[in-house]
Structure 1
Amino acid sequence: MRAAPERFHVSDSMIAAWGTVAETAPANGEPPEEARASRLQSTGLQSTKGADQAGSNTVCLTARSLQTSIRQYGRRKTLLDDVTLSLPRNSLIAVIGPSGAGKTTLLRALTGYQPADKGNVLYEGCDLYRHFGVLRRQIGFVPQDDILHTQLTVRTALRYAARLRFAKDHDDAARDARVEEVLSELSLTHRSDTQIASLSGGQRKRVSVALELLTKPSLLFLDEPTSGLDPGLDRQVMQMLRGLVDGGRTVVLTTHSVANLELCDRLLVLAPGGRTAYFGLPSEALEFFGKKDWADVFQEFELSPNRFWADGYRKSEHYRRHITGLTSETFGEAGSRLVRKQKSATASPSWFAQLATLVRRHFSVIAADRGYVILTVCLPLLMGLLSRAVPAPDGFLIPSQQGSDQDLYSSFNVDASRVVVMLAVGACLTGMANSIRELVQERMIYQRERATGLSRSAYATSKIIVLGLVTALQGLSIGVLGLIGRRLPETGLVFPSALLEMTLIIGLLSVTSMVIGLVISALVRTAEKTMPLLTMATLFQIMATSAVFPMFNQVGLAQLSWLAPSRWAVGALAATVDLSRVSPPAEAKNPKMRDTLWRHDLAQWITDIGILAAIGLIGFFLVIKFLRRHEPAVMRKH
């Protein structure tokens, strides 16, 4: 195994020592390299790599004239307005500003998640947007929301992430060794076997950072890493980031907290409208604005939102010293060598390897969530037992005792269609309930993993496999509970047992409904919208069966019902038991009016099943298509 690269180890005792940093904060004008050395000396820490590069006047990333706008209420709203900055190597940069100033938009532009409309971003002289697929592993991004499966333990989550991010030339031993390195580096070893949901806010943020450190990025961006944390946890997170920087990385974070800015090497202040109001040393920022504290600065932004803050900054000494004074690598052969080097180092795992890892991880998440497991077992049992509540003494056969010719309905089995509807409702509701929140609640996780090379189709296929297996078992359970013991035809149209044939149809309906749930989950933007849509979709499927009221003979409604999986599943069930003959006609005045999809015919049964399966297949491709809408913009071409 290769020796671990030189890195900066932050132990618990070192973190405690960081509590004295505020007392040794640099005086106004103290160069960042001297401030870093002072901090290291005050805590007894050494970093030879950081010391070698501290005095370098080069940058690792440069943004030039970034401009971004969106259309809102019929007007163009500017989010970033001509933002230019250079990020020095091995430095901690904080981005602050009032709400709506474009901090998150800037981070997404600098990481390549959402390229700016105008301008460019250069990483070591290479165009990030053009070579994102090659350079993405050099840039880590931790969004504000968790990118974790909180049901897993810390070590398990990191191991799955390593399998998804490292190519097959990294064996399990090498991946596990890297996981242990990261756990040690972030002082998480003692919490490695703890479920992530049980961690404190600061510890969970460390785990999110650990996910990004697996691929050893030289640049790390964090969006609001201290949001929602108390002052003590706020300082712990900032101290942790400071340690990462002194270990040889460049870290950029957005924050609303100004309590620990003295730990940073540079400070970027964005004014309303996404304009650069200041970029330079944190210790000189308040003096630049002529204010005593940040509350006064933010109040000035609110009172004068249209002031040309950027013009004042460009005319200042800070602009010359911290932007034009730094030099970037050139575009030439050095950039080409970097791209070639990264191409050989950024190969993603194969499609099948990603699929296998995703399937294993999903099963692990399910197994770790006891509440979900209990619900998964109980829901089909409940649906099956509810269908038993429909009294059907004749099952799916013609009543044994016929009424008079004047009493038309006494000659038919009116309960058979009710049982079919109940079984269809149970299958549809169970299937969609399993999946309708699946993609939307994992959206941040998917976005980040997609940016690191995850295959979109492998992700969608893993959901189909895992949820399809779970849902199929549930559907079969509903079918068996709802049908066993009832009077059925001796044989089906295809299978020797009508019970087996009908149970398989119900299982297929459950799986197809699950795919429809995934389509809805891929479409919506928030999880709150899924429950109303689940109700609406279930009601539509009930009405589309034509067993509640006849839609099959109404122009428009009949064609609309073809979109519902329940329409074709009920048709196949009806064909199996010859429901058209067993149940009463849809209209007493027109006893010959029958639903053609219910015809007791092998060809019709195959048609019903074929279209039901086709709806599921089309739904699968729609899931893949709709997933693209929520991906980082730069990945949509891949």
Structure 2
Amino acid sequence: MSSSPPGPADSPERPETGPVVRPVVPADPAGLPHWPAPPQPVDDAADQQTQPVVIPVVPDVELPPPSPVEPAEPPVDPDAGRLTADRISQVVRGRQTILRTLSLTVEPGHLVAIIGPSGAGKTVLLETLAGLRTPSTGSVHRAGGVGSLGFVPQDDIIHRELPLGRVLRYAARLRLPADADVDAAVADVLTVLRLTEREKVRVGRLSGGERKRASIAVELLAKPRFFFLDEPTSGLDPATSAEVMRALRRIADSGCTVVLTSHHPPDVDVCDEVVVVAAGGGLAFTGDPMKAREFFDTPTVAGIYTRLDEHNRDYWLRRFADERASKTDLFAIPALPVSAPPGEKRAVPAIPSASPTVQPPVAPLRQWTLLTTRSLDILAHNRLTLSIVLGSPVAILLMFLMLFKSGAFDPATPSPNTSAMILFWIAFGGFFFGLTYGLLQICSEFPIFFREKFAGVGIWPYVLSKLAALLPLLVLVDALLLVVLRLTDRLPKGGFGQLAELFLTLLLASVCAMALGLLASAAVTEPGQATLMLPMLCFPQVLFGGAFLPVPVMADVGRWLSYLMSNRWAFEALGHTAGVEELWRNGKSPLGPPLLASYEDTFSSPAWVDWLIVSGMTLVFLGACWLVLRTKAARRGSRPAR
């Protein structure tokens, strides 16, 4: 450490003229200079004997041109990581006030807890500070942290079917640039959160505290400057809660600004600051936890809740505003947390440093590829779901074989009614496969979708990845259904072209139904509601599909509704390809001509016309699904949809 140069009073008087004198500075073996101690007073005789070090005059010489100067690195913003809320408020539906003109500042690298009674608006405040909600009035400023932000909701934001390491690698590839070292990033966060030994364990088998730390790890991959968590210790036992808080303490000590909500009083003692929100969304206190106890005149954090109930909500707001206006030192922000020993600095652990730069979003095509691969991976690891997905078509196929006799399409002995029912139930089977495959795809992972949407994942890559992941299964089950029925003489004995045309019709119908299932999944709020929608979506397809009651003989309202049924157009395309008009008109069954008369020109249009209609419906359903997800994401304050 260098000392200050001696002042004029300590230095011997220097002559006005003479050579320039500089002290000799010795260097240590490492090459770092040791500045000498200030000179001690000496007598005049000794001073006269001191020989100055004279710097000789160097003659003028021609110097080589200076080398190009490397551009200096941009200076580090000392305010980076500071969070400021300036008179923010939140009003819901133009009437209900959730937050009331609230202002606060969080210093860089601080761990802050937001506490208060239930319904006071803690989560709304957290989401507003994080940028998930736009304040009705006021503003929030995150210095040096645009795009560098992590948010962990109360729900798990990880898929439980996959091993932890694989979950983190998918998350890293969705958040980090293509040239980033994903394995190194995953290893870093596993080390920081002490989950290295659990890397190969399926997430569903982790303990509650480990799953919470795993959710934190997902957000830590992008090295956020700001980190927000909604009740990270909710539902955890005291020991596990303390473990999670220690992990957050290490993250904050690394320079990341961490803000969390909590109902667990021991969490506050680990924090640098506490923000107390009173009922009605007003700010009752912000500052050091120890001084919070002094302010509320209670020895414990739990006592703060009791003190809030002893007075009306405006009492504490006014008192805190008065104390703030008086500029007392009550709200001075300490440099160290309360838990740190006096005079001892916090040790900064080896943790990925927060990055103030904005990571460019991953390209949509790469997002789609990663999301599709992940969906297939999840399906492969969920054996029960995979068994149901593959087993249900087999069960339906067996029902076909048990229900319908062979030879219904034989011109010598045709069965017009049976042939119509076979074609209709083939169309409905494809519809049912697609609908059930898509119905639970989105609603079962809403927390993950919203978090990844906020991290930059586009809605279109997400929706299309669901379609792409399940398309191979639809191809398999549709092909299996047609091939088995053809081999067992329950379809016309046409050539390969006819079978291919039947397959294309069935596949388009299945994809359309899956798009409808994705739309329904996006529209509901939880999987139970999606399950209840299954009969509501299936019955209209049966009633207005045009098989049990031909479209020409329907009432006007029913006929108009039939235009909206994808099953109608699939049934008509299958009938045209199977040649039922020729079979019923010229076959040796007396039931054929009357049945054909009731259907009139139902099967007269070429199949490609029906394909265009079904394809158009598919695009409409997918577009509506995108719009629903975009609207839901906008309500949660996500970034603009892509």
TM-score (norm 2): 0.78
Relative distance call for 1:307 and 1:361 in structure 2 (3 A) is same
Paired position in structure 2 for 1:433 = 436
Q: Is 1:210 matched up with 2:229?
A: no
Find out whether 1:545 has 2:545 as its counterpart. Answer: yes
Contact 1:380 1:430 in 2 (8 A): yes
| Aligned residue number for residue 419 of structure 1 | 422
- Residue 467 of structure 2: aligned partner: 464
Structure 1: how far apart are the matches of 2:548 and 2:278? Answer: 61
Residue 253 of structure 2: aligned partner:
246
Separation in 1 of the partners of 2:546 and 2:134?
A: 50
For 2:99, the equivalent position in structure 1 comes to 80
What CA distance in whole angstroms lies between the structure 2 residues aligned with 1:102 and 1:585? 74
Could you say if the C-alpha distance between residues 479 and 221 of structure 1 is closer, same or farther in structure 2, counting changes exceeding 3 Å?
A: same
- Residue 477 (1) aligns with residue 480 (2): yes
The one-letter code matched in structure 2 to 1:628 is R
2:619 to 593, 617, 620: 617
Measure how far apart 1:293 and its partner are: 4.6
Q: Rg: which structure is higher?
A: 2
Any conservation in 1 of the 2:88–2:137 contact (CA below 8 Å)? yes
**C-alpha deviation, 1:305, in angstroms:** 5.5
Change (3 A) 1:623 1:469: farther
Quickly say closer, same or farther: Cα 1:313–1:548, change in 2 above 3 A.
Answer: same
Moved more, 555-564 or 531-540: 555-564
Aligned residue pairs, count: 540
- Which of 119, 123, 128 lines up with 1:109 in the alignment? 128
Task: Give 1:427-576 correspondences, 5 Å limit.
Answer: 427-491=430-494, 496-552=496-552, 553-576=554-577
Q: Is 2:81–2:107's contact at 8 Å kept on the other side of the alignment?
A: yes
- Larger deviation: 453-462 or 562-571? 453-462
- Give 2:427's aligned amino acid: A
Task: Give the match for residue 196 of structure 2.
Answer: 189
Alpha-carbon distance in 2 for matches of 1:121, 1:501: 59
**Matched residue type, 1:619:** F
CA change 1:345–1:281 in 2 (3 A) is closer
Tell whether the 8 Å contact from 1:166 to 1:349 is kept in structure 2 after alignment: yes
Q: Contact 1:111–1:139 (CA<8 Å) still a contact in 2?
A: yes
Q: In structure 2, the residue corresponding to 1:190 is in which secondary structure? A: helix
| Residues 185 and 326 of structure 1, relative CA distance in 2, 3 Å threshold | closer
SS in 2 for 1:377: helix
SS in 1 for 2:185: helix
Distance 1:429 1:94, change over 3 A: same
Q: Distance between the aligned counterparts of 2:271 and 2:333, measured in 1?
A: 18
Amino acid in structure 2 at the alignment position of 1:419: I
Question: Which letter does structure 2 place at the counterpart of 1:383?
Answer: I
Q: Which residue type is aligned with residue 367 of structure 2? A: Q
Match of 1:34 in 2: none
Superposed displacement of residue 304, structure 1: 5.2
SS in 2 for 1:420: helix
What is the CA–CA distance in structure 2 between the aligned matches of 1:481 and 1:504, rounded to whole Å? Answer: 16
Cα 1:398/1:100, change in 2 over 3 Å: farther
Do the aligned residues in 1 keep the contact of 2:81 with 2:226 (CA within 8 Å)?
no
Q: CA deviation at 1:103?
A: 1.0
Aligned-residue offset at 1:109: 0.7
Asked if 1:267 corresponds to 2:274, the answer is yes
Structure with greater helix share of residues: 1
Give the 3-state SS of the residue equivalent to 2:597 in structure 1: coil
Alpha-carbon distance change, 574 to 415 in structure 1, aligned in 2, over 3 angstroms: same
Find the aligned partners of 1:456 and 1:442 in 2 and give their Cα distance.
14
Tell me which amino acid in the other structure corresponds to 2:193.
L
Deviation (angstroms), 1:525: 2.0
Q: How does 1:15-94 map to 2 (within 5 A)?
A: 60-71=82-93, 76-94=95-113
CA displacement at 1:423 relative to structure 2: 2.1
Structure 1, gaps ≥5 residues long: 1-52, 129-134, 328-340, 402-411
Contact kept, 8 Å, 2:231 with 2:260, in 1: the verdict is yes
Secondary structure of 1:151's counterpart equals: coil
Deviation at 1:324, TM superposition (A): 8.5
Conserved? CA contact 1:265–1:281, under 8 Å: yes
Any conservation in 2 of the 1:512–1:615 contact (CA below 8 Å)?
Answer: yes
Range moving further from structure 2, 249-258 or 618-627:
618-627
Q: Could you list the per-position Cα deviations for residues 555-597 of structure 1 after superposition, in whole angstroms to 9, with x for gaps in the alignment?
A: 1222222222111111111112233565699999997332533
In the alignment, the residues of structure 1 paired with residue 314 and residue 416 of structure 2 have an alpha-carbon distance, to the nearest angstrom, of 79
Structure 2 unmatched ranges of 5 or more:
1-75, 335-353
Task: Please provide the CA RMSD for this pair.
Answer: 3.0
Identify the residue that residue 640 of structure 2 maps to in structure 1.
Answer: 636
284, 292, 309: which is aligned to 1:277? 284
**1:187 positional shift:** 0.9
Shift of residue 291, structure 1, vs aligned partner: 3.8
Aligned residue for 1:14? none
Using the TM superposition, give the Cα deviation of residue 188 of structure 1 relative to its aligned residue in structure 2, in angstroms.
Answer: 1.0
Instruction: Please point out which of 295, 304, 309 is paired with 2:316.
Output: 309
* More divergent stretch after superposition (495-504 vs 350-359): 495-504
Shift of 1:189: 0.8
Q: What residue number does 1:223 align with?
A: 230
Q: 1:488 to 1:141 in 2, by over 3 A?
A: closer
In structure 1, the residue corresponding to 2:602 is in which secondary structure? Answer: helix
C-alpha spacing 1:301/1:538, structure 2 compared with 1 (3 Å): farther
Cα displacement string for residues 72-125 of structure 1 (whole angstroms, at most 9, x for unaligned residues)? xxx71111111111011211101111111111111111111111111111111x
SS in 2 for 1:502: helix
CA contact (8 A) 1:586 1:593 kept: no
Supply the distance in 2 between the matched residues of 1:588 and 1:308 (Cα, whole angstroms): 87
The answer to whether residue 178 in structure 2 is matched with residue 159 in structure 1 is no
Matched letter for residue 250 of structure 2: G
Contact 1:62 1:122 in 2 (8 A): yes
Question: Which secondary structure state, in structure 1, belongs to the residue aligned with residue 275 of structure 2?
Answer: strand
Distance in 1, Cα, partners of 2:551 & 2:309: 59
For the residues of structure 1 that align with 2:330 and 2:398, how far apart are their CA atoms?
71
> Bigger shift: 372-381 or 469-478?
469-478
- In structure 2, what is the Cα distance between the partners aligned to 1:59 and 1:343? 8
1: CA distance, partners of 2:357 / 2:270: 36
Give the letter aligned to residue 376 of structure 1.
Answer: V
**More displaced, 246-255 or 199-208?**
246-255
- Higher RCO (C-alpha 8 Å, min separation 6): 1
* SS of residue paired to 2:158: coil
Matches of 1:518 and 1:218, distance apart in 2: 35
Q: Distance in 2 between matches of 1:369 and 1:585?
A: 52
Q: Deviations over 1:283-327 (max 9, x none)?
A: 222332234555554345457555343222111259846899789
User: Which position in structure 2 is the counterpart of 1:123?
Assistant: 142
CA distance in 1, matches of 2:593, 2:311: 76
Correspondence for 2:388: 375
Cα distance change, pair 272–572 in 1 and its aligned pair in 2 (3 A): same
The 3 A distance-change label for structure 1 pair 322 and 549 is farther
Aligned to 1:147: 157
Cα distance in structure 1, aligned partners of 2:439 and 2:623: 16
**Structure 2: how far apart are the matches of 1:457 and 1:539?**
30
One-letter amino acid of the counterpart of residue 117, structure 1: S
